[in-house]
Amino acid sequence: MTSHFVTGLRCVICNRTYLPEAVYTCPACGEEGILDVLYDYEHVATHLTPATLRERAFDLWRYRELLPIAAEVPRPHLQTGWTPVYNAPRLAVTAGIRELYVKDEGRNPTGSFKDRASAIAVMKACEFGYNAIACASTGNAASSLAGMAAALRLQSYIFVPSRAPEAKVAQLLIYGADVVKVEGSYDEAYDLCTSACEKNGWYNRNCARNAYLIEGKKTAGLEIAEQMAQQLPDWVVFAVGDGCTIAGVWKGLCEMRELGFIERLPRLLGVQAEGASALVQAYERQDAPIAGIAETLADSICVGKPRNWRKALAAIRASNGAMLAVSDGEILIALREMAREAAVFGEPAGAAALAGLKKAVQLGLIEADKCALIANTGNGLKDVQSALRAASSAGERAQYDCSKPAS
C-alpha cells in the first residue's frame, strides 16, 4: 500500500529498481546504496495543477501527489510546511547582495525543518504496520520525530549525543520519547540506532537510510518554487550535515520545473561548518567524503560521516552551484545579524546559511547583483546558549549575566 503515483525505488549507485515497500537501502549495494523514490510525473500532472493548488490548504499535504503516502493513511494533525518567506532588504545589505529572502523553517510544529521528514516517517511507519519508530539525531530530527510520533500515538526511541542542547532534549521528554544519550558523536548514535532498529523491529526514521524521508524534505523545494514563482531567486542556500536536506530541496525544485510551475532552476549553495566539513572537502576533491571527527557549535550539522553525500553532491553539481565552509565565529555573527536585520531568530545551523552566503559574495562565487534565498532551518530557542554568545559583546555581558538572579 502506497501512493498510486509512486512507481518504485531506484538505487543511486547501480540504478536497480525495487517495489515501493519497506526497504531501506539497495540490497545489492548495501549501506551505500541510497534509494530514490520514483513517480509517474505524467499522472501527477493531471492532478497537481495551479487550479487544484488554489483549492488546497497551505501545508505540505497540498503536494500530496508528490508524496509517497497512500490516501487512507492517517496524517498528523499538526500544521507542517508552508513556512513564511520574508523579504529582508537590510539583511541583503549586510550580506552584500542585491536582494535576499529568508524562509523561516522555525515556524514548523516542533520548531525545525525536520518536521517535514518526520511527518512522512510516522505515516510510513503506520502504513507498514509498525508501532514504534526510532532515529539518531543531534537534536532537531529527534524532537520532530517525538512530536510527530505523539500525534499518531507511536512510541519513539531517540538516540542523541550527550552534548545535544538541553532545550532539544526537553522536547523529547515532554513528548514522551524514550531517550538514549550516547557518550559519543552523532555518527556513533546513528550506528547504535540502526542496530537497535534491526534488533527490536522498530521503523528506522534515519533520513540517510530511509528514501521516503527526503520526500518530506523536498516539500521545502516545492514551496520555494510556488512561493517565489514571480521572483525566483538566483541562489538557494542551505546548511548541510548528512546531505539529505539540500538533496531533497533540489528534487522538489526539479519536480516543480518538470510540472511547469517554474521555467528555470536556481543554483544551490551548500554550507558546512569548518569543523564538520567532510562534504565541502569531498566537493573540492571531486571524490567521496572522508569520515572524521566533527566539532562545531552548530549541532544540527555536526556530522563527521555524511551518509547521503551522493545525492547532495549530485544536486550541487546539477545546479551549477557551490559548497563552502564557515567558522563558528562567522556563524555566531550571522546569528546576531539575522535576528537584528531580519527579525528571524535562528539556531546556529540556520545562521550558517547566511554566513555562507556572505562568504560566497566576498569570494566572488555569488555576484552582488543576484537574488538569494536562505533557509533558517531551526528556531533559535533550541540553543539558547549559542544565542547568548552571539548576542553578547563585552558591554552586553555586563548588563545580562545568566549566572546571577534577577533583582
Given this model, what pLDDT does residue 1 score? Answer: 58
| Among candidate residues 291, 297, 24, 248, the one with its CA nearest the CA of residue 138 | 297
* 332-360: pLDDT as tens digits: 999 999 999 999 999 999 999 999 999 99
Q: Give me the chain's average pLDDT, please.
A: 92
Query: Among candidates 142, 5, 115, which has minimal Cα distance to 59?
Result: 115
pLDDT band at 180 (very low <50, low <70, confident <90, very high): confident
Q: What share of the chain is helix, strand, coil (3-state, %, to 5)?
A: 45, 15, 40
CB atoms within 10 A of CB 294: 25
Closest C-alpha to 302, from 272, 347, 268, 336? 272
Could you identify the residue written with the cell 494533525?
Answer: 77
| CATH number 1.10.760.10 given to 85-109+213-391 | no
Decide which of 137 and 41 is more confident: 41
- Tell me the three cell numbers of residue 209: 537510510
Which cell goes with 72?
487512507
- Looking at the chain, the whole-number percentage of residues with pLDDT higher than 70 is 95
Please give the sequence-ordered ranges of beta strands (E in DSSP) within 292-370, or none if there are none.
322-326
- Predicted TM-score (pTM) of the model is 0.92
Ranges of H-type helices in 24-85: 41-45, 50-53
**Cα–Cα distance, 131 to 281 (Å, whole number):** 40
Amino acid residing at 117: A
Asked if the model's pLDDT at residue 397 lies above 50, the reply is no
* pLDDT at res. 44: 97
Share of the chain above pLDDT 90, in %: 78
* Per-residue CA distances from 282 to 144, 279, 306, 367 (Å): 29, 5, 10, 24
Q: What distances in angstroms separate CA 210 from CA 5, 37, 125, 204, 247, one per listed residue? A: 19, 10, 11, 7, 13
Lowest mean pLDDT among 22-31, 121-130, 326-335, 341-350: 22-31
Axis crossing angle, helix 348-363 with helix 328-342, rounded to the nearest 10: 100
Q: Convert the pLDDT of each residue in 186-233 to its tens digit.
A: 788 888 998 999 899 999 988 677 899 999 999 999 999 999 999 999
The band of 144, judged by pLDDT with boundaries at 50, 70 and 90, is: very high
Interval 232-270: pLDDT, tens: 999 999 999 999 999 999 999 999 999 999 999 999 999
Q: Nearest-CA neighbor of 79 among 53, 110, 50, 56?
A: 110
- Residue 161: its pLDDT value, please? 82
With a CB cutoff of 8 Å and minimum separation 6, the contacts of 362 are 96
**Higher pLDDT among residues 161 and 68, named by residue:** 68
- Evaluate if residue 301 carries a pLDDT over 70: yes
Bridge partners (DSSP) of residue 323 are: 270
Instruction: For residue 271, list its beta bridge partners.
Output: 239, 324
- Predicted local distance difference test score (pLDDT) of residue 100: 98
Q: Is 138's pLDDT higher than 80? A: no
pLDDT of 395 higher than 60:
no
Query: Amino acid identity, residue 183?
Result: E
Which pLDDT band, with edges at 50, 70 and 90, does 168 fall under?
Answer: confident
At 318, list the grid cell.
546539477
Residue 373: name the closest of 356, 392, 389 by CA. Answer: 356
For residue 393, the model assigns a pLDDT of 52
Q: What is the pLDDT of residues 68-124, one digit of tens each?
A: 999 899 999 999 999 999 999 999 999 999 999 999 999 999 999 999 999 999 999
